[in-house]
Structure 1
Amino acid sequence: MEEKTILELQQELTKLKKAQVRIKRKFTFLLSIIAMLVLITATLAWFTLSNFASVNEINLKISTAPELYLDIENRGTDVSLWKKVLTNDMINQYLSSVNAPKIDEQRLDPVTTSNGISFQSQSGSARNANETSSFLEFKVWFIATTDMYVHLSGQTVQVEGNNATTACTTTETGAKADIVNALRVSYEDNGSAAIWEPHKGSPVAGQSSFDVNQSFGSESRLFHLDTLTPKQITFRIWAEGEDPECDNDVQAANVTIQMLFGGADEAGNSFE
């Protein structure tokens, strides 16, 4: 009787071990499924098609600082030759000089970057600027009649009789309007770039980005200008593939980008 009980216990123990093995296998399978879902979730932000947002209009306008000017070309130290506003035609003039498609001929396909300078596709391969479907890049010269730190400004001011501000807008509605949250603009000066993220959300792709406001804090500081010393800055505009709202819903959207630049001293006091 006692030997039979021990045998039964051994059989029950064997059944229990087999059940544990089955549970482990199911658990491992479940973890695999979860891992796949996480991977899918991480990649859904990228488009599955290549048709993306056209850059509809880019307006670059200077802020209240009367000492600050810009142009596509270096006009020397005579500020009367410089401009307060850049138009699409002026930017297209630069693009033509480097044999790049005009703004309305380019499409922004999703790319990603950690520094706003070098860009990759979802697969990790390098992407070049100003291809038919890539990211937009152009260079702008700045000059100031006094030493200043140049900022991107969230103020609304009058420049040459028109309202000027910094904004990323669209005429799209519904989910397609999320395009304004997926775009980024970087400003490179001597190998270092500041990244403007309109409607800033949680950081992605290791980026350190900022959004504009009414004050000139250090986070919106782009670069420094010495008195009457022209400086060339590289602008890059792209759709950030790692942004959660850079998905199929915003394909073929239109977008308008305005940038208003202002000058301030080291303490952030703007020049009126």
Structure 2
Amino acid sequence: MDEKTVLELQQELQKLKKAQVRIKRKFTFMLSIIAMLVLITATLAWFTLSNFASVNDITLKISTAPQLYLDIENRGTDVSLWKKVLTNDMVNTALRAENAPTLDQQLMDPVTTSNGISFQSRSGNTRNANSTTFVEFKVWFIATEEMWVHLSGDKVQVENNDATTSVSTTETGAKADVVRAIRVSYEDSGSAAIWEPNKGAAVNGQTTFDVSTTYSNDTRIFHLDKLTPKQITFRIWAEGNDPECDDDVQDANVTIQMLFAGTDDNNSLFE
């Protein structure tokens, strides 16, 4: 191989190396763009207009299946003094007792939580209940048998009215996606179970469950001893990290129905 051929090969090798460097740079740039787009997509779940609230009209109906009762106050061990259904008015009584806005006055801006108890804003600041953030109130439960309490997807008659568990809205189009952004947690003794209606991919480390007509250890919310009242803290919020919690669902209304049912240790339903 003569000197000229060697020189030409060296020049071609140099060109190839330069081309490889350019390809690497372009690839790195493309990865950076993709990473930015992923970040932007993630943050779009939060409202861009912070002076609007996701939900401004909340309707609640909370019912219980056989052998399970509830009330805003502890009524003792005489189950005849307890209720089978809680309405907006009853929940409003509890909110007024805490000097909190009633359900028709509540506004929920997006928040997020990992445990269903402590909440943060998009910037990571702590958010307090019932202040254009999330709704919080307490409910007492009592049962005539020792049981595990679950949310039930069954449709039953309670006091001659249909009862089930669901989240619905009268909104249409993209605004109706609000039903996917709502979360409800139930705190018992420092830990909380989180109900995620229309459950999707997990966000912010949350462990959630969706309602079902079958019962397992994973759908247990709390435990009740026989004729022993227990107070449970309810929290309702719009999950800012949910993909559906964006500008489309601002100022939406939502109706939340909850039907609680009890099972034994084998997750067999009390009837």
Q: How does the TM-score come out when normalised to structure 1?
A: 0.92
CA change 1:55–1:117 in 2 (3 A) is farther
- The match for 2:183 is 184
Alignment of 1:75-224 (within 5 A): 75-131=75-131, 133-224=132-223
SS at match of 1:39: helix
CA change 1:23–1:269 in 2 (3 A) is closer
Alignment of 1:1-80 (within 5 A): 2-50=2-50, 51=52, 52-63=54-65, 65=66, 67-80=67-80
- Using the alignment, how far apart are the partners of 1:159 and 1:27 within structure 2? 62
Q: Does structure 2 conserve the Cα–Cα contact (< 8 Å) formed by 1:55 and 1:108?
A: no
- Using the alignment, how far apart are the partners of 2:17 and 2:149 within structure 1? 70
Q: Deviations over 1:213-234 (max 9, x none)?
A: 2233222211111122110001
Deviation of 1:136 (Å): 0.8
CA change 1:152–1:113 in 2 (3 A) is same
Structure 2's unaligned 5+ residue stretches are none
How many pairs does the alignment contain?
269
Higher deviation after alignment, 182-191 or 198-207:
198-207
CA change 1:217–1:20 in 2 (3 A) is closer
Deviation of 1:97 (Å): 1.5
Q: Deviations over 1:216-259 (max 9, x none)?
A: 32222111111221100010111112212112211111110000
Higher deviation after alignment, 3-12 or 68-77:
3-12
- The match for 1:237 is 236
Deviation of 1:26 (Å): 2.3
Amino acid at match of 2:61: N
Amino acid at match of 1:261: F
1:265 lines up with 2:267 in the alignment: no
Percent identical residues: 71
Amino acid at match of 1:170: T
